[in-house]
Structure 1
């Protein structure tokens, strides 16, 4: 049994590490609220809070367009990855056919190879197909890159569902398609939302692929737009901090709303290998 002293020590250690993790975030937020006349590259306590930095960064950086592009790409990748991962995960978890294990391990190779290794070959392939400088040049490669994790994640979760539940449904006349969408998918909601959130975060934060594929300013994603904004306002630290918060805010908001499902999915999604 944990004693009161041990509990107090645990809380003290967790509080110290939480403070260390939050300190840089607080510094960025304070920098974003510091008047530009007082802005500095070091930690500065603002004389007064200047919320106008956010509107200035929003307008000058054209972040409405960039956030719209990132949202379109991220949502498309999440939806495509989720559907394909559900189908492939169900196949690997509950069907027996020649080469199943080999195909699964080939799929896992995608977890071992850095995505940056494919960017240049992808550029030439997509250029030959006329897809560069379009949203498809971002959606299709990132969907493929996310599938290795998605298939692994959903396959592991589907394997935790008692086989007796599936057999009972089949005895009642349910087809494999009905078993998947009426029984397995509803029970996999925490794992599915966790996967969706991780894929959304990875897609949202992707920088190298948009840099290689996109030249049209109207199709730039938020991280790419932030990089160009930084190059144009190198010494305007308050605007840079405000722009950074604008770009990061959608992922933070998503996590706040889905944190309960995220924790549940992390605890259940990889229980059985």
Structure 2
């Protein structure tokens, strides 16, 4: 009993420490953003006269309304297509067990080891030759391809654990492969699909490298990609830079807080088993 209590208190202490390590950077950004523009705050001292207007100034200076529009368009271009292709490929590799599926899956697994930094140079020249530089397609198309290995791996892990008897019963009732996929397996895979969608949304929204390399116009980038241009313009104004950083981070934090239970539920229901 004493050992169990000690382990419980140790676990709680570690959780508190982890929470503190996670929250302190955001708290520091928030406190710094409230200091007068042009000053150099030190530590976590609360300003005597909080400048809430810094957030309004940063919103207007960074043209956040256009950045929100651009980020939404990029997310709508990347996430649905990635989910559709990843789900179909995962179903084919994990449940249908088509000929050569093991080799194809191995190629997708190898794709997980491919870092964005390793392909950015040839990707730049390819996008340039396609005439897509400085357009949102320069971010959307590469992200779909770069997200495919993980999307397929994630969805295959779900479909590989689905019982074969379920499909056999549907085939006896006259269902073809497409009906089997659309009417039976997709509804059962919604926890895995929704959690994959959350991850792809967060990764797309926070995409920085491709946005700054392939798109020159900050208004056509993701919000995180536009942070580089904002930092170059207001890098010496620390409070304003912190206010802009918080505004850029807010959408991803809100989305994660809203859907965190669904994401955890998907993990517990076995979306990454196998």
Distance 2:14 2:97 in 1: 49
- Equivalent positions of 1:64-143 (< 5 A) are 64-143=65-144
Q: 1:63–1:225: 8 Å Cα contact kept in structure 2? A: no
Shift of 1:10: 2.2
- Equivalent positions of 1:219-230 (< 5 A) are 219-230=220-231
Q: TM-score, normalised by structure 2?
A: 0.92
Distance 2:226 2:191 in 1: 33
Q: 2:38–2:236: 8 Å Cα contact kept in structure 1? A: no
Q: 2:28–2:43: 8 Å Cα contact kept in structure 1? A: no
- Aligned CA RMSD, in angstroms, stands at 1.8
Report the 3-state secondary structure (helix = DSSP H, G, I; strand = E; otherwise coil) of the residue aligned with 2:22: helix
The corresponding residue for 2:145 is 144
Q: 1:157–1:271: 8 Å Cα contact kept in structure 2? A: yes
Q: 2:90–2:155: 8 Å Cα contact kept in structure 1? A: yes
Report the 3-state secondary structure (helix = DSSP H, G, I; strand = E; otherwise coil) of the residue aligned with 2:160: helix
Shift of 1:37: 6.3
Distance 1:48 1:85, change over 3 A: same
The corresponding residue for 1:196 is 197
Distance 1:216 1:6 in 2: 53
Distance 2:25 2:68 in 1: 24
Report the 3-state secondary structure (helix = DSSP H, G, I; strand = E; otherwise coil) of the residue aligned with 2:66: helix
Does structure 1 residue 263 correspond to structure 2 residue 264?
A: yes
Shift of 1:42: 3.8
User: How many pairs align?
Assistant: 272
- Equivalent positions of 1:160-199 (< 5 A) are 160-199=161-200
Distance 2:7 2:117 in 1: 45
Greater CA drift, 86-95 or 263-272:
263-272
Q: 1:191–1:264: 8 Å Cα contact kept in structure 2? A: no
1:222-273 CA-to-partner distances (Å, cap 9, x unmatched) read 122211111111221211111111111111111111111111223322111x
Distance 1:80 1:128 in 2: 23
Moved over 6 A (4+): none
Does structure 1 residue 154 correspond to structure 2 residue 123?
A: no
Distance 1:129 1:38, change over 3 A: closer
Q: TM-score, normalised by structure 1?
A: 0.93
Distance 2:245 2:105 in 1: 39
Distance 2:128 2:231 in 1: 28
1:5-48 CA-to-partner distances (Å, cap 9, x unmatched) read 43233222211221122111111112223333655154332224
